[in-house]
Structure 1
Amino acid sequence: MTYKITGYQPERLFHFFEDISAIPRGSSNEKAVSDYLVAFAKERGLWYHQDALHNVIIKKPASAGAEDKPAVMLQGHLDMVCEKLTGVDHDFEKDGIDLIVKDGVLTANGTTLGGDNGAAVALMLAVLDDDTLAHPALECVFTTQEETGLTGAAGLDKSLISARTMINLDSEEEGIATVSCAGGMRFTMTRPITRHAASGKLLTIDVSGLLGGHSGTDINKERQNGIILLARLINRVLHETGAQLASFAGGSKDNAIPREVCAVLVCSDADIEKAQSIAEAMAADFAAELVPFEPDFKCTISIEDGAAEVLSEADAKAFISAICLAPNGVRRRNLKQDGFVVTSLNLGVARMDDTTASLVFAPRSSVASLQNYTTDCLYLLAETFGFDCDIAGAYPGWSFAEESPIRDTFIASYRELFDADLKIEAIHAGLECGLFSDALPGLDAIAVGPTIRGCHTPDEYLPLDSFERFYSLLTDVLSRLAKH
């Protein structure tokens, strides 16, 4: 294999990242990359365990002189969010990521990069592959389906893990260590719909160019939810004309703020001019509203003759009204902690087929009672508009520990290596640390990683010098743990 990333050390770190990037590894499609890890372990004579969910654990004995030190778990997830720009020809089920290296930055060609959490996978493989490093016994845990509800971590047999020190590698800001996170779930609302044939003018409205982002870490950045934006427009058109809703599709993941949304309305010849005028006026209003936050926002409106199966008036009204009234975004902040987000939710997916309409939300909170309040509101919304509800993928939060030896070790190492203080923070995103902390009493955990920007979007990028520096930090921490 000819590698694109050159000039950074250790070479094996970057080569491993390229190797796994060539393997499709969207959530629930991790078997191939899981088998790659098993082959890696076999080639090096390392103990491994692979389960039915394709989670993999690889263990490596301590280096010479560190045999009496407590084992350390390194952990990250194999799967990635699969998002691409409109018009990009890429099949995430079959195609590897087309990497681009430019000016010291790694990106992908029109798709998500998979640095979240491919960086962790490459880091663990590089550590396992290097017999010159000083380290305690290592238990490297590679989990699956993290991006769709921490499913792999929830189903992993944690009795196979002896370590009570955990270094999670799913944090995305160099110089910042995460020590607490929110719990979350996937909340799905579904409603039966009926359709009938209609013909006339097809009014197609496309929203695009929004920034999107991670529904946890980016929810506080005033990024527009495309689903709610388009529903506002359609609600006005439906109320002021006789237009009928034929389709509405937006978002692809509950944990990604939706960037692109499209809807089709069927209008009579008498209504089309007014419907178009309303749509264009509201699109202009949206552009003015969003200038500070969404500079690339676009709303494209087109008209053609045609026919479609449209929703009944009652079904269309219920679907659009539920979106317009849905709670979304930041719901509670902690003003004593610089406005840190405590509770939020994201309407990530809105879809319909011939017989069913659905909305998928990602509620998050580090306070259980506030999470309960959010779900109560969603149940009320569903009841009001005739939706059924389902909760899946619920996972616990991870609370702050007043004393943490692993945190202290990272602080000392970072200060010595970089002559700067490591920032300690809580995050609003979900991490697998909560599941492991629940299952492993006394677990001392921290979440760290190199800088990765634009996660869960095709704008995702990884500064290669940050990746290089973080590896030196990680190996220095392991060396310290081997001595103390």
Structure 2
Amino acid sequence: MEYKITGYQPEKLFHFFEEISAIPRGSGNEKGISDYLVSFAKERGLWVHQDEASNVIIKKKGSEGAEDLPAVMLQGHIDMVCEKVAGVDHDFTKDGLELIVKDGVLTANGTTLGADNGVAVALMLMVLDDEDIKHPPVECVFTTEEEVGLNGAKALDKSLISARTMINMDSEEEGIATISCAGGLRIECSRKNVREEAEGTLVKIVMSGLKGGHSGTDIDLERKNANRLMARVIYQLMKNTDGKLVSFAGGTKDNAIPRECEASLIYADPKEAGKAEEIAENLAGVLADEITPYEEGFVCEVTAEAGQKVKAVPAEDAKAYVTAIYLAPNGVQSRNIKMDRFVVNSVNLGVVCADEDQLVLVFSPRSSVASLQDELKARIGLLADTFGFTTEYSGEYPGWNFLEESPIREVFKESYRELFGRELQTEALHAGLECGLFCDAIPGLDAIAVGPQLYHVHTPEENLPLDSFERFYKLLKDVLRRLAEK
């Protein structure tokens, strides 16, 4: 293929990233990239295991003199969040990413970049391919469906892993190592409904331009949730006008803060439709005044089209749906005041959808304290019961506890200090990482999560400064050398 990234070393690292970016790998669609990894290993004569969940483990013997040292696990996930700008013609199930390099920064054209966690995949491929670096035996673990509940890591047979040191590369801030993380799960609430025929003037509200972001790492930034904002408008329209709800949908991933939302109501009486337009436009102005100082791209558009025939949501179902969204917990729920206001637990109302036969709300709660997670689950369950929704819990994963003594953390600190002349910082992360699952299953596992700098993950603005990627490989290579010389 013709590579776009040039001028960075090692050249192959960036070529590997481009190669995997050409393979569709949204969550649940990882078979292609999984098969690529298997072929990669077989071409180099490396031990490889692929399971039914498309997880892949590739093992490489230690370099000369380090063959008998304890193995180290390198780990990352092969799936990516598939988000795109409205109107962009891109099919994530079959199209590769269109990469753009500008001023030393890598992005994708109107879509997520997949650097979360494609950087880890490329880094592991580089370690497996490079015969010149010094390293202990390495066990590269490539997992699937991380973005939808860490499903691949849950399904993986961890008895195949002999390593008791783990380097996860799904952290997104250069110079900061993650040393613990929150647990989480997915909660889907649904309510059946039978739609009814309606006609008249369709009033449509479209919100867009919000910043969105990762529901773990960005939740503390207090970014606005498009679903909650829309509920604020639709609740007032249903309270003050005689219309019927036709549509209400926003967000595509439970772990991404929704940036866009669309809703519509139909009015048999043109005067009521005009009244609805006026109320919606006034509310749009109020929201813009509140939001644009912080999220300057926010736009709320109101349109009306007469002579429409549609199927509307029955009034009782619509009231339950909109009120539940309006009252739903969302955002930061509690902080640890003693730890620089670190977010302890939060929830993201990531997806709302009024389908033809059911109304759906999807939440992503997170917490580093199990009791607070249980309390949040109970609150969402009570909300669902109150408004006639059934609740399904899935994808639950444990948090990762902090270790007072961590040899791998000390090696990274020493290496970072000597390479870059400054101290490696450490932090607890509110987002979920697969480290918790591995530490829970492998007794005595010493883990750390690190990575190059990434910006705006889980959004179409996701980007990777290429010099940071270059520096991180230098750090990883030096850490492996140190482990090989112990």
Q: TM-score under structure 1 normalisation?
A: 1.00
Instruction: Trace 1:170-319 onto structure 2 (pairs within 5 A).
Output: 170-267=170-267, 268-305=269-306, 306-319=308-321
Match of 2:382 in 1: 380
Residue 82 (structure 2) aligns with: 82
Q: CA deviation at 1:353?
A: 1.4
Q: Which aligned pairs between 1:406-417 and structure 2 lie closer than 5 A?
A: 406-417=408-419
> How many angstroms does 1:352 deviate by?
1.8
Q: Which residue of 2 aligns with 1:100?
A: 100
Aligned to 1:366: 368
> Contact (CA 8 Å) 1:187, 1:389: kept in 2 or not?
yes
Question: How far did residue 439 of structure 1 move?
Answer: 0.5
TM-superposed deviation, 1:289 = 0.9
Equivalent residue letter for 1:400: F
CA contact (8 A) 1:23 1:96 kept: yes
Task: Look up the equivalent residue of 1:168 and give its one-letter code.
Answer: N
Q: Supply the RMSD in Å over aligned alpha carbons.
A: 0.5
Taking the aligned partners of 1:244 and 1:326, their CA distance within structure 2 comes to: 22
- In the alignment, the residues of structure 2 paired with residue 119 and residue 67 of structure 1 have an alpha-carbon distance, to the nearest angstrom, of 27
Which amino acid counterpart does residue 290 of structure 2 have in structure 1?
Answer: E
* CA drift at 1:291: 2.4
4+ residue runs over 3 A deviation? none
Structure 1 equivalent of residue 340 of structure 2: 338
Using the TM superposition, name which of 263-272 and 427-436 deviates more: 263-272
User: 1:47: which partner in 2?
Assistant: 47
Among 465, 472, 475, the residue aligned to 2:474: 472
| C-alpha distance in 2 between matches for 1:292 and 1:400 | 38
Shift of 1:440: 0.3
Report the equivalent of 2:163: 163
**Cα contact 1:183–1:397 (8 A) shared by 2:** yes
| Alignment of structure 1 residues 120-135 onto 2, 5 Å | 120-135=120-135
**Equivalent residue, structure 2, for 1:449:** 451
Give the Å deviation of 1:294: 1.0
- Separation of aligned partners in 2, 1:96 and 1:300: 32
How far apart, in 2, do the equivalents of 1:427 and 1:34 lie? 28
User: Structure 2, unaligned stretches of length 5 or more?
Assistant: none
| 1:194–1:315 Cα contact (<8 Å) kept | no
Task: Please give the alpha-carbon distance, in whole angstroms, between the structure 2 residues aligned to 1:157 and 1:257.
Answer: 32
State the partner residue of 2:22: 22
Shift in Å, 1:182: 0.2
SS of structure 2 residue aligned to 1:270 = helix
Q: TM-score, normalised by structure 2?
A: 0.99
The separation in 1 between residues aligned to 2:293 and 2:437, in whole angstroms, is 38
**SS of the counterpart of 2:220?**
coil
Aligned partner (choices 356, 361, 369) of residue 358 of structure 2 = 356
Looking at structure 1, the residues matched to 356 and 473 of structure 2 have their Cα atoms a distance apart, in angstroms, of 51
- SS of 1:194's partner is coil
1-structure distance, mates of 2:235, 2:310: 19
Q: Structure 1, unaligned stretches of length 5 or more? A: none
- Contact 1:222/1:293 (<8 A) preserved: no
| Cα distance between partner residues in 1 of 2:443 and 2:114 | 32
State the identity %.
64
**Which residue identity does 1:422 align to in structure 2?**
L
Question: Does the Cα contact within 8 Å between 1:117 and 1:170 map onto a contact in 2?
Answer: yes
Instruction: Give the 3-state SS of the residue equivalent to 1:207 in structure 2.
Output: strand
* Distance of 1:292 and 1:373 partners within structure 2: 34
1:141 paired residue number = 141
How far off is 1:92 after superposition? 0.2
| Range that drifts further, 347-356 or 145-154 | 347-356
Provide the C-alpha distance between the structure 2 equivalents of 1:206 and 1:84, rounded to a whole number of angstroms. 16
Q: Distance in 2 between matches of 1:77 and 1:293?
A: 33
Equivalent pair of 1:106/1:462 in contact (CA under 8 Å): yes
More divergent stretch after superposition (290-299 vs 473-482): 290-299
Q: Residues 105-125 of structure 1, C-alpha deviation per residue, up to 9 Å, x if partnerless?
A: 000000000000000000000
How many Å separate the matches in 2 of 1:8 and 1:364? Answer: 37
